[in-house]
Structure 1
Amino acid sequence: MNANNVETSETISEGEFKRIPIMVSLIIGVFFAILNETLLNVAYVQLMNDFGVTTSTIQWLTTGFLLVVGILIPITALILQWFTTRQIFLGAMSIFAVGTLICAFAPNFPLLLIGRLVQAVGTGLLIPVMMNTVLVLFPKEKRGSAMGMVSLVIMVAPAIGPTLSGIIVEMFHWRFLFIFVLPFIAFSLVFAFIYLKNITKLTKPKVDIPSIVFSTLGFGGIVFGFSQAGKGTAGWSHPEVYLFIVVGIISLIIFVKRQLQLKEPMLDVRAFRFPMFTLATILTVVLMMTLFSTFIILPLFLQQGLLFTAFATGLAFLPGGIINGIASQTSGRLYDKFGPRALVIPGALIVVIVMFFFSKVTILTSFTTFIVLHCLLMFGVALIMTPIQTNGLNQLPPKYYPHGAAILNTLVQVAGAIGIAVFVTVLSSSQARFLENVGGNVEANQAEALIAGVQSVFAIGFVFASICLFLALFIKRPVTSEGLDILEEKEKDKPVHLTP
């Protein structure tokens, strides 16, 4: 921190921190915000029927959500230095509440999508706040257990989303997916108003508008381009697809170059100079792309291919969500004792095996088999996610905490959006190819075409999982604090080029 940094009068000293009330305040709000990433997945079939839209269109309820979150999170590194923890959380939850109300009473698909995007604004502000709070509140030797709580929210919420969705859709109506959330949002706001305290200093760095523009164009362009390809009719060769992707890539290159030139970058990409943080980021991105393919494709397959009800589909995801929650907490504590390798490598191996068996599913695959495979997948993911994120963030010096949390969460959300678009594209193209080859009665071959598409999706997921396993072999505990000091000194010696 600079000597000129001014601490807000509301900020409390570290000795006065009451960690449990602060973390509970954040966890309640963030849990229901992230829950909405997958809460609609099981309801997709009913929504497609009610609004008369296709699979490639309905995916925007998730892809658009992730797109907005991915665009907004890079800016949170700046927002965290301008506003207090209390201000950001209460403001974000209020925005999320407005979006939820819009979704609950949306009369058509466009308005439902708008509500989802408003929800995403609130979610995008909440995630980095929680992760940065953990980094500030907990010392490194206890951070694994604390990050287990973060993983409990980030992983379990989307994991149980399909279960809750299936139960609510079967017993009520899809609108109650949002109506039932509103009381919890209200409770979170009241609880946070009473117990949430400010834990950071406000430095109020200069706002660089070009950085915000290039960040938005970069992340937004890439995800939008991939999502357009997922509509099937456009295809990867369509200008609407590759032009947005190219614009996104060029904008990101300009954005990164500008961050390296600025004295006070909006998102300090120098965090990537720390190898374990870089490795953790890559591993997380690849893993989340694999995981989101399962969250999207599996509910569609169970309902449209195997003709399970929304309720049965939701129940299929419940055991895995519970196992992931328990394992996330346990893996955090085990990381503090044994380090990352003893957990991450076995976890990656489990994910590889599960994705291989998913790629072999057929119409004869039993309901029990899907439950067992999903449980194993969520257990393997829990062994990976908490240790690698804790390990990577532990290597960063304190001044990089907001930036590291923002970078990690940005790429996770963007990877999820890209993964959904890519896997929906693979599903659609594989189905179309199958129907072209068999000819005859298209309606009679729809189930077989869906199975062929699902097998192709999970075959690619198996490749991604194999990449995770390979990368896991290089993980190790971060360098000591002395090593960090040396790296920081080297960084100070490097010239800084200011943007004119």
Structure 2
Amino acid sequence: MEGMERKGETEQKPDGLPKRQRFVVLAIMMSGTTAACISQSMMISALPTIMHEYGVGASLGQLLTTSYIFTLGLISAMTAFLVHRVNSKTLFIASMLCFVLGCAAALFAPNYPLLLAARLLQAGGAGIALPLIQVVALSVYPKSEYGRAMGLVGLIIGFAPAIGPTISGFLIDFWGWRSVFVVLGSVTVVVIALAFPLLADVVKRPSAPERFDVPSGLLYTLGSCAIMAGVTLAESGGGLALSAIFAFAAGAAALAVFARRQLRIENPLLKLACFRSRTFTVSTMLVLMANMAFMAGSIMVPLFVQDVQGASAAVSGLTILPGAVLLGLLNPVTGRMLDRHGPRPLIAVGCTVLVTGTLAFCLLDADTPEWVVTVLYGVRTVGVACLMMPLTAHACTTLSTADIAQGTAIITSLRQIFGSIASSALIAVMASASGNALGIDAFGFGVSFAVQAALIAIGFVVGMVFLPRAASASKG
């Protein structure tokens, strides 16, 4: 009997890892990736303080968060190439070292431009770690348990950014905003120390590694940056100025050339041929929509609590904490529901709940009790939990094992880039509709959430009409 148990512990499944090795690998990588994910939202509670200290407005200040997420998305596009060329252990440690350097630079940044540059360095490390943990999770679990694998990853992708404002709120109130980088850097140093002796390489690499296509990388970066610049110019200028229109046009042209090139070359940067699968296309679209709602809410609600309702950074963080906890708890549950019932029930429930919670936010004002804001934020996170990670897993079930790294890179990159651009655009809507110099008031806040509700409703219709019905019948 003892021999059978020992054999069961060490024998590898055809398409997964033994539980003990799976636990060690995921525990270390999830710990480091949690710090990187938490960092993307920890500046939210610090924005009012940083804006006053450096004399910048909301449109410029929010770049500390949206540019971080945007850069994370750009770097994520390169990870499919990196995963196929570099040992996963080495790649993870390198990403953590980059993140630590960014924390150190931010800690001593004397002005806003250098602080922003430090944030981009942090994002470089996060941009490698985030898609890497998804590839690793899908590598150590069998395909029949992809929903569970993405549910576990969802604990950090959804939960970590959501609790960032809460943790940073307390740190800022007691020790100032620079203490955020001390905590993040210290945690990451510990993770690196554990990774050297304990982490294993678990991702299979092709015998003939692909070459990096430099023109594709340049086109993707320039196109995405141009569109982000167009959004920023429109936001700061209060409308579609000629410079913003030119940036949008240049970005769209570059991305069109990029997409055409990906479909023609042998080793694309992003294998856009994955979108020939309708399931992958529709699932990815719904993931982008859910992430837009999640990111916009996590940035705008703390701003509303602090600048409209006059509460402290700690209070604004506590306002969204219950929703963050709920999101973390629900991600594994919705992953298992996907394995058992398919995506369509989750789409129906998720979009309905998300639209309801978003429309309710349109009615808030400065006198709304904090508990109401907390409850409504929690309602929206239920909808996000039904959509974001389950649909990521569902999209990947249509891909071959060799294309998993490409699929996760595509979804992670588009999710982050679209989320940051959409969040900036929604903040621009709020600023243009607001009646004060800061660009934040109850009316502008409500208008921005009404736009979100309309986009979510469109996503619901597309998902229910175009997602193949046969896919929803699959059982885990």
Q: Same fold (TM over 0.5)?
A: yes
Secondary structure of the corresponding residue to residue 230 of structure 1? helix
Find the partner of 1:365 among 357, 364, 368: 368
Q: Matches of residues 404-415 of structure 1 in structure 2 within 5 Å? A: 404-415=407-418
1:157 equivalent to 2:160? Answer yes
1:339-488 aligned at under 5 Å gives the runs 339-431=342-434, 434=435, 450-474=441-465, 475=467
Q: Secondary structure at the match of 1:236?
A: coil
* TM-fit CA distance, 1:237: 2.1
Tell me what 1:326 maps to: 329
Q: C-alpha separation between the residues in 2 aligned to 1:391 and 1:314?
A: 32
Say yes or no: does 1:206 pair with 2:197. no
The one-letter amino acid of 2:216's match is S
- Pairing 1:259–2:262 present: yes
Cα deviation, 1:46-70, whole Å, max 9, x if unaligned, reads 1111111111110111122122112
Identify if the C-alpha distance between structure 1 residues 174 and 168 changes in structure 2 by more than 3 Å, giving closer, same or farther: same
Q: Distance in 1 between matches of 2:188 and 2:451?
A: 38
AA aligned to 1:73 is S
CA distance in 1, matches of 2:278, 2:260: 19
Contact 1:339 1:476 in 2 (8 A): no
Shift in alpha-carbon separation, 1:279–1:14, aligned structure 2, 3 A: closer
**Distance across 2 between alignment mates of 1:380 and 1:140:** 25
**Partner residue, 2:240:** 236
Secondary structure at the counterpart of residue 368 of structure 2: coil
- Deviation, 1:366, is 1.2
2 CA distance for matches of 1:16 and 1:33? 25
> Equivalents in 2 of 1:427, 1:259: separation in Å?
36
Is residue 69 of structure 2 the alignment partner of residue 69 of structure 1?
no
Q: Please list the CA deviations of residues 337-380 of structure 1 after superposition, one character each: whole Å capped at 9, or x if unmatched.
A: 22222222111110000001001112221111001001111122
1:28-60 per-position Cα deviation (integer Å, ceiling 9, x unaligned): 111110111111101100111111111111011
Structure-2-length-normalised TM-score: 0.91
The 2-side partners of 1:261 and 1:386 are apart by 30
1:310-345 per-position Cα deviation (integer Å, ceiling 9, x unaligned): 111111111111111111111112222222222221
Cα deviation for residue 400 of structure 1 reads: 1.3
CA distance, structure 2, for counterparts of residue 232 and residue 172 of structure 1 = 35
Deviation for aligned residue 1:15: 7.2
Does the 8 Å contact 1:293/1:457 carry over to 2? no
SS of the residue 1:107 aligns to: coil
Q: CA deviation at 1:477?
A: 6.9
Coordinate RMSD, CA, aligned: 2.0
The match for 2:123 is: 120
Q: Tell me, yes or no, if the aligned pair for 2:68 and 2:119 is still in contact at 8 Å.
A: yes
Query: Cα distance, 1:136 vs. partner?
Result: 1.8
Q: Distance in 1 between matches of 2:44 and 2:425?
A: 17
Letter in 2 for 1:372: V
Does the aligned pair in 2 maintain the 1:340–1:476 contact within 8 Å?
no
Tell me, yes or no, if the aligned pair for 1:92 and 1:123 is still in contact at 8 Å: yes
Q: For residue 45 of structure 2, give the secondary structure of its aligned residue in structure 1.
A: helix
The TM-score with structure 1 as length reference comes to 0.87
Q: Distance in 1 between matches of 2:73 and 2:149?
A: 24
Correspondence for 1:89 among 92, 117, 126: 92
1:39 paired with 2:47, answer no
- Taking the TM superposition and a 5 Å limit, the aligned residue runs for 1:1-80 are 18-80=21-83
Over 3 Å counting, the alpha-carbon distance change for 1:55 and 1:20 in structure 2 is same
Q: 1:222 corresponds to which residue? A: 227
Deviates more, 1:367-376 or 1:224-233: 224-233
Divergent runs of 4+, >4 A: 12-17, 476-480
Q: Give the distance between the partners of 1:177 and 1:217, measured in 2 at CA.
A: 31
| Structure 2: distance between partners of 1:133 and 1:473 | 30
Q: Residue 286 of structure 1 corresponds to which residue in structure 2?
A: 289
Per-residue CA distance 1:463-489 (angstroms, 9 max, x = gap): 122123223324457759xxxxxxxxx
Structure 1 distance, partners of 2:283, 2:196, is: 34
Q: Which AA in structure 2 matches 1:462?
A: A
Aligned to 2:272: 269
Any stretches of 5+ residues in structure 2 without a counterpart? 1-12
Higher mean displacement: 39-48 or 340-349? 340-349
Distance 1:215 1:265 in 2: 12
**1:231-271, Cα deviation, whole Å (9 max, x unpaired):** 235x32231x2222211111111111111111122211100
- Per the alignment, residue 313 of structure 1 pairs with 316
- What residue in structure 2 maps to residue 141 of structure 1? 144
> Counterpart amino acid of 1:258?
R
Unaligned runs of 5+ in 1: 1-11, 436-441, 481-500
Q: How many percent identity over aligned positions? A: 29
